Structure 1
C-alpha cells in the first residue's frame, strides 16, 4: 500500500465515519504547513487544530495552542489535528482525544520519523521508544509518511459500532423527576441519576456525588439537577465552583436547558463569552474560583479534584447542600482512591450515582481504549497481586531499559498513581526521560508488589530537580548546599498487599541503595496527609510544613527526611527545629487552619530546641500559679499560658502529655480557638475540656522547670 496525501487520509476518514467509531492517524512530513493546509481542505466536518506559533492554522479550523489546549476540553469536533515540530506531550494527546466525536479522527502531524523526537530536549529518549511501539496497538490506525509514501501501519475499522443513540431511551421515572426534564438526559444512566436526585431532594440528604469516566456528561447532569432544585425551591443563592468559567460550559448548558423546559424564567450573565451566572426571581447560580468560593446554601463542585479534598471539606461542611462530581478514569480522572477520599469528607447522608455510558462516542471505542491504555488513564492496578510475598527482590529500572517494556511502564504508573491524588499523562515523561529519576520495583514471585520513584538531588542541578535540598537550605543553613539527597517522589504498594510491611521493605532497600550512591539524606515531600503515619513509623523526621495550601490537593505540603550521614543529620536537626518553631509560634496565624489533631502529630515528629527563645517573667509564674490553684480562669492568664505552652513545646515537653492533652493545648492556647470549639474537637463537655487544659498546662510547666534546672550550672 502506498500513501498519497491527502487522498489516502480522506479515504481513511470516510472509513472511520461509516463505522461510527473514532480513529487515529499519524502523518509525517518535512512540510508541516503544507500538510496542515491540505488536511484541513479534505476533511469533511468541523475541526480543531492545535499547532505551534511557527505554523498558521487554516481558517476553517478552530485554533488552539499546545500550552492552552485545556480551554478546548469542553468542546466537540469531528477532527482534531495536533501539529508538532517536536515535543508531543502525553497530556496534549490524552486531553484532546476526548474532544473527538463519534465517527471522527485524531490526526497527529510530525516531522519525518527518523528525525522526530516527541520527548523533551535533554531527555534520554525513552518516551520516543515507548510512544512509537505503542502506536501499533491502536485498533484503528493510519501511520504513514506523506513525503515518501511509506505506510508504517494501517488498521481500518472492523465492523460498525452497535446501535448507539443519545437520550433516556425509555427510562421510566421512579422517584418523581418530571418527564420533560428526564427527556433532556443524554443517556439512561443520566436519566436514572436525575431521578435519584429528585429522591435526594425529598429525603433531605446533605450530599449528592456524581462519578464516572471522562465523557459521561457529569457536568451536564449537575446542570439539570440544579434546574430541578430551582423548580423545587431548593436552590436560592448557589455557587458553582470550577477552575475557570470555561470549565462550567456543560454545567450551564444543562442548567439553562433544564430551566427552559421547566418553564422557569432566567437571565444569563457572561464575561468574555463565558457564562458566569444565571439569575431569576428564584435566586442565582454564580461561578466561583476554588480560592474565592465561600460556603453557601447550595454548593456545586464541578470537578472535586480541581478543588482538593481539604478545601472541599471546609466548603462542604459549612454549606447547606452539596452537589459534586469526580472523574474516575480519563484525562481529568483521579481514580477510585480519590473518589473514596471525596466520599469520606462530604457531609452525610450522601447519595452517590455513577454515569456509565459515553455521550460523544460508542462504548468500546478504539480511540478511547488506545488512549486509556497508552497514557494510563485508568490509574488502578489491573493486574493480580503476587500470590506470595515470601520471596521478593528489589530492582532498579533505568528509563532506557524500561521504555522497551510498555506493559511494565503501565503497571508501574498504575501502581505509583496510588501515591498521588491525580497522575497526569505527562508523568510518563518524568519516568521515561529524566536523567535523575530511578524507579525501584519490589518484585514478588515475578509480579510487581510495590514501587518507588526516587530522584537524586544535588545543588548543581536546575531548581526543579533539587526541591528537597532547596527547602532544607531555606529551613536550615547553607550546609544543605553541600549535601546529596535522594527524594522519594512516590512510593506505593499494591492495594491487595498493603499493611504487610512491603512499603517498609522497599523503603529500606531504597535507603541502602542511596548509601551506595553517597547520599547524605533521604527526603519525601507530599500533600496527602493520610500517609503521615507511614513516614513517622519508618523513622523519618518532619522538617517542613508549607505555609499555604497546595492548590491541587487542598492540603499543606509536608517534608519528612532521614539522615544517612553526620552531615545530613546536622542539617536535618536544624531544619526540623525550625519547623517546630513555625508550628508552635505560627499556630495562631499561618497554621491556625491546620487541624489541631494534625498539628499535635506533626509536633511529635520534629526535633526539640535545646534553648527555647521564650523566657517567662516572675509575674507570669504568679499568674499561672493562681490559675493552677483554681483562683482564676484560663482566659484571665491567657498571655502567660501562651508563653508557658510555647516555651515548653519548643523544648519538647509534649512527651509528658497524652495525645488528647496535647490537642487541647494546641487548639485552645496556641491556635486560640474558643473553649466550645476546643471541647467539640476533643469530643468532651466544656467543663471536661477546661479541666483537661488545667492538668495539661500543669504538666508542661513542671516539665519546663525541670529541664531548665538540669541545664543550670
Structure 2
C-alpha cells in the first residue's frame, strides 16, 4: 500500500490506543534505509512531545539512550520509543525502556525480516561475550529466541509497506473511582497504609509491592506530602537517586515549599554509616538493595516502608519477598504486605506490557516445586545451543536465578543464549528445576597473554577467575589452565537447607574431573553463611576485595578448589595460596578492612606463625588479671598474644570484641558502641569471666 495510506493507518491506531489507554507495539521489518525513511515520515505525521531512541541514526530531537542508563529510565516517560535493531539489540535496555512509553504512545521496533535477522550477529551484546569471541561476527541464539517469542505476541506487524498482522484490540477498561491526588482505589489504600505506619504501633513495617506502572512510587510521594504537612521528618533511600525520582517529584508537587526539607534522600550506604533519625523511612525499589542492608535498616528505624517492583526488567521482586519475608516474620510479627495490581500508566490488558513480560520471561511461576528426597532426581547440563528447544526449562532456570540473586537482569537471559562458554547444571525431579548452578568456562589463555595480564598491561573480558589468578595472586601460569568459575548457585527458596546445593557442587566436581578442568572457582559477596557453605564443599579463600561492592555493601571474596587427577599438587598449591591470604589479611585488617564483620575476620585471617607462646610467668599474670589483681594496661600485650594463639577455640562473644580490638584496631569508644557495652569495665568483666575458664584449657 502507499506510504501515505500506511502512515494514516498508524496515526489512526495511535489515536485508538490513546482512547483505550494502552501502548501500541509496532514491529516493522524491512531494509534499514527504507525503514528509517518511513519512520521519519511517521514522526512528521503523528504528534509527540518526547521521543526516545535506542540504537544508531537517531533524529536530532530524540533522546538517544545507551546501555548504561537503565536506572535513569525508571520513572521517566515518552510518547514514542523507537528501537533501531539494525545497529544491535540491547535486550536489557529494551526491557528497561518499555516502561517509559505512555498510554497512547508507540513502541516501534525496526528490524530486518525475521528470517534474516535471527541469523545476524548482535554487536549490542558484546559485553556478554568472553575473549576471544568477537560480537561483530558471533551468531548467538538470543535473536532466534526473541523472534520465536515475538511471533506469538499481540502486536502490529509490518513488512515494508504491508500490514502482515494488525493488533487484536483489548476491550475498554472500566474507570477507577479514587479520590485525588490518587488515581486508583488501590493506590489510595496504599497511601492510607503508609500513613498508618507512622500513626500505629512501632516495629510494624509495610511492604508495598507492584508491577511497574501501578503508581507505587507515586503513592510514597503522596503519603510523604501528607506527612510533611503534619511536620513529620522523613528519609528516603533507593538503589540510586534516579530510582527515587518519582517519589520526590510527586512529593515536591504536593507539599508546600516550606515543607520540602521534610523529605530527604540519602543513599543506603551513607544511611548505614549515619546516625540520622526520622519519623518514617521510605525504601523504594527495595528488591535491588541487598537483604543484609535492608536488615540493618530495619534495626535502625522503627517505622519503615519497603516498596518494590515485582516484575519489571529487574525480575527480582519475588526474590526480595522470599528472602526478606522470613526475616520480617522473626523480627516484626506485625508487619503488613500490600499489593497494588491496578495499572495507572495504562490499562490492565496493555499489549506492550504483555509483550515485554513474555519475550523476556518475566512471568514468575507461582507454583513452588515439590521435592521428595526418596524419589529419583536428574542432574542435567544445558548449554547455549540447548535452550531454543527447551524454552520451558529456560523459563524455570531464569526464574530461579532471578529469585536467588538481586542483580539478575535481562542481560543474564541473553548471556545464557549467546555465550557458548556458559553452561547450567540443574537438579530436576518430575521435570521441575529444584536447583541450578551457572558455570563460566575460563582460562586456556595463551602464556604470553597471561603474562601481560600479570604485568597489568592487558585485560580480557569474560575471564574473571583466570584474570584474578594472574594479576591479583601473581599466578599467571594458572590462567593458562582450564578453569570453571561458578557464577551463581540457586536453590528453590522453599527447598533450601536440604543438601541440594552440595549435591550440585559434587556433580559439578565430578564433571570437571572428567573434562580435565584443573580448578573450580567462585566469587561472591562475602557473608558468614555463604563462606561456611563453600568451605564445607572444599573451596578455600584466596582473595578479598579491598572495597565493598556498591550494590551489595559486601566485600567480594575469591575461592578456589583443585579438582584434577594431580590433585595432590593442585591442592597443595591452593592451600599454600590460602595460607598466604590468611597471613596477608591479618596484616591488613586494620588498614584495609576496618568495617569487616569480626566473625568473618576470624574465619579468614590467620596470625603470623612466629608469634611466641606465653611463658609460665605471663600466664600467671593473665590469671591475676582474671582475679582483678592486675590492671588491663599491664596485661594487654600478653592478652593480644594469647588471643592470637587461641582465637579459634574461643566463644564468639569473647572472640569478636578481641578481634575488633587487637586485629582491626578499632578505638575503645567504637568498640563500646559496636558491642553495646556501657563502659570499659563491662568489657573487662567479660574478658575476666571467659578467660579464667579458658586458660587451663589452652595451656
Shorter-chain TM-score above 0.5: yes
1:403-432 Cα deviation digits (max 9, x unpaired) = 233222211101222331231111112211
Tell me if 1:184 matches 2:181.
yes
Q: What does 1:484-523 align with in structure 2 at a 5 Å threshold?
A: 484-523=482-521
Partner of 2:146: 131
Match of residue 211, structure 1, among 209, 212, 219: 209
Change (3 A) 1:613 1:13: farther
Tell me if 1:434 matches 2:419.
yes
- Is the partner of 2:32 in helix, strand or coil? coil
Partner of 1:375: 360
- Is the partner of 2:688 in helix, strand or coil? helix
Match of residue 432, structure 2, among 447, 459, 483: 447
Tell me if 1:546 matches 2:514.
no
How many equivalent pairs are there? 651
Deviation at 1:679, TM superposition (A): 5.6
- Structure 1 length normalisation: TM-score? 0.81
Tell me if 1:335 matches 2:317.
yes
Tell me if 1:258 matches 2:254.
yes
Distance in 2 (CA, whole Å) between partners of 1:533 and 1:21 is 50
Partner of 2:460: 463
- Is the partner of 1:240 in helix, strand or coil? strand
Native 8 Å contact 1:240 1:285 kept in 2:
yes
Distance in 1 (CA, whole Å) between partners of 2:212 and 2:633 is 54
Tell me if 1:21 matches 2:22.
yes
Tell me if 1:55 matches 2:51.
no
Q: What does 1:64-213 align with in structure 2 at a 5 Å threshold?
A: 64-68=65-69, 70-113=71-114, 114-115=116-117, 116-118=120-122, 120=126, 121=135, 123-138=138-153, 140-146=154-160, 149=161, 154-165=165-176, 169-170=177-178, 183-206=180-203, 207-213=205-211
Native 8 Å contact 2:241 2:265 kept in 1:
yes
Native 8 Å contact 1:326 1:339 kept in 2:
no
Partner of 1:709: none
- Is the partner of 2:143 in helix, strand or coil? helix
Match of residue 326, structure 1, among 290, 299, 308: 308
Native 8 Å contact 2:621 2:635 kept in 1:
yes
Partner of 1:708: none
Change (3 A) 1:582 1:8: farther
Native 8 Å contact 1:493 1:502 kept in 2:
yes
Deviation at 1:80, TM superposition (A): 1.6
- Is the partner of 2:361 in helix, strand or coil? coil
Native 8 Å contact 2:598 2:659 kept in 1:
yes
Native 8 Å contact 1:16 1:103 kept in 2:
yes
1:105-135 Cα deviation digits (max 9, x unpaired) = 3111134541544454154411011101010
Q: What does 1:205-604 align with in structure 2 at a 5 Å threshold?
A: 205-206=202-203, 207-235=205-233, 238-259=234-255, 264-266=256-258, 278-279=260-261, 284-293=262-271, 294-298=274-278, 299-315=281-297, 317-319=299-301, 321-342=303-324, 348=332, 350-379=335-364, 382=367, 384-385=369-370, 390-458=375-443, 460=445, 463-473=460-470, 476-478=473-475, 479-527=477-525, 529=527, 530-564=529-563, 565-600=567-602, 602-603=603-604
Unaligned runs of 5+ in 1: 171-181, 268-277, 703-713
Native 8 Å contact 1:379 1:418 kept in 2:
no
Distance in 2 (CA, whole Å) between partners of 1:383 and 1:157 is 33
- Is the partner of 2:416 in helix, strand or coil? helix
Deviation at 1:309, TM superposition (A): 3.4
- Is the partner of 2:415 in helix, strand or coil? helix
Partner of 1:179: none
Change (3 A) 1:501 1:621: closer
Match of residue 687, structure 2, among 690, 697, 702: 690
Tell me if 1:33 matches 2:36.
yes
1:601-639 Cα deviation digits (max 9, x unpaired) = x33xx8x68x62545798977865654564324454334
Distance in 1 (CA, whole Å) between partners of 2:318 and 2:526 is 15
Partner of 2:131: none
Distance in 2 (CA, whole Å) between partners of 1:350 and 1:589 is 40
- Is the partner of 2:410 in helix, strand or coil? coil
Native 8 Å contact 1:388 1:445 kept in 2:
no
Deviation at 1:69, TM superposition (A): 5.2
1:484-540 Cα deviation digits (max 9, x unpaired) = 321111122233433333222222111111112211221221227353443233333
- Is the partner of 1:417 in helix, strand or coil? helix
Which structure has the highest helix share of the two?
Answer: 2
Native 8 Å contact 2:439 2:487 kept in 1:
yes
Unaligned runs of 5+ in 2: 127-134, 447-458
Distance in 2 (CA, whole Å) between partners of 1:117 and 1:143 is 23
Native 8 Å contact 1:420 1:528 kept in 2:
no
Deviation at 1:449, TM superposition (A): 2.4
Deviation at 1:82, TM superposition (A): 1.6
Native 8 Å contact 2:243 2:285 kept in 1:
no
Change (3 A) 1:524 1:58: same
Distance in 2 (CA, whole Å) between partners of 1:401 and 1:441 is 13
- Is the partner of 1:487 in helix, strand or coil? strand
Change (3 A) 1:669 1:644: same
Change (3 A) 1:395 1:622: same
Deviation at 1:456, TM superposition (A): 1.2
1:222-242 Cα deviation digits (max 9, x unpaired) = 22222222223321xx44334
Distance in 2 (CA, whole Å) between partners of 1:232 and 1:574 is 63
Distance in 1 (CA, whole Å) between partners of 2:621 and 2:139 is 67
- Is the partner of 2:596 in helix, strand or coil? coil
- Structure 2 length normalisation: TM-score? 0.82
- Segment drifting more, 190-199 vs 374-383: 374-383
Tell me if 1:631 matches 2:629.
yes
Q: What does 1:642-661 align with in structure 2 at a 5 Å threshold?
A: 642-646=640-644, 648=645, 653-661=646-654
Change (3 A) 1:615 1:208: same
